[in-house]
């Protein structure tokens, strides 16, 4: 009887450890997938912002790469900017800009509430002959809640 009880105890320990490893692998894979989605969103925003570095928001004869209406639309799509104080403003305006619509909808929805945030600071300037202009420094982060 004691031998049967010891065998059952050892079997239960082995089964518990196998299920524990399987659960860890499953949740670790999901976390890794979310990190990949976040990195892809950040890369997408960085690629899009490269178009704006040489942009002149004051030039009314050159169409900007943004989806705004008319000339000088050097802004992110107004439907994707969460920051209401910066709707249709120059994409490289100093400050923090929170974007939606960059990541998959299921990742931006509850319970994750993921967002891509980019922060612009202009600490350096460059002179190209006659004009002196600020050089923007961009920092992109992706945040989400882990359930």
3-state secondary structure the chain: CHHHHHHHHHHHHHHHHHHHHHHHHHHHHHHHHHHHHHHHHHHHHHHHHHCCCCCCCCCCCCCCCCCCCCCCCCCCCCCCECCHHHCCCCCCCCEEEEECCCCCHHHHCCCCCCEEEEEEEEEEEEEECCEEEEEEEEEEEEECCCC
The stretch 80-95 carries a mean pLDDT of: 66
**The pTM is what?**
0.67
For residue 98, give both structure tokens.
């929170």
Give residue-wise pLDDT tens across range 23-63.
888 777 788 888 999 999 899 888 888 877 666 666 655 56
Whole-number pLDDT of residue 22: 85
Question: Nearest Cα to 64, choosing from 90, 84, 101?
Answer: 90
Contact 55, 90 (CB under 8 A): yes
If one compares 133 and 7, the residue with the highest pLDDT of the two is: 7
Domain-wise residue ranges, the chain: 2-143
Cα distances (angstroms) measured from residue 76 to each of 4, 35, 56, 72: 69, 24, 14, 12
């Amino acid at each position: 009887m004691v031998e049967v009880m010891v065998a059952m105890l050892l079997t239960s320990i082995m089964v518990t450890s196998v299920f524990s490893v399987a659960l860890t692998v499953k949740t670790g894979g999901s976390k890794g997938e979310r990190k990949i989605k976040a990195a892809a969103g950040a890369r997408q925003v960085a690629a899009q912002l490269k178009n704006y570095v040489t942009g002149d928001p004051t030039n009314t004869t050159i169409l900007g790469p943004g989806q705004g209406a008319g000339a000088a639309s050097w802004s992110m799509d107004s439907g994707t900017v969460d920051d209401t104080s910066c709707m249709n403003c120059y994409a490289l305006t100093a400050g923090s800009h929170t974007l939606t619509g960059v990541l998959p909808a299921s990742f931006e929805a509850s319970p994750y509430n993921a967002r891509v945030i980019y922060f612009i600071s202009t600490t350096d300037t460059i002179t190209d002959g006659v004009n002196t202009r600020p050089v923007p420094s961009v920092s992109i982060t992706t945040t989400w809640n882990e359930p």
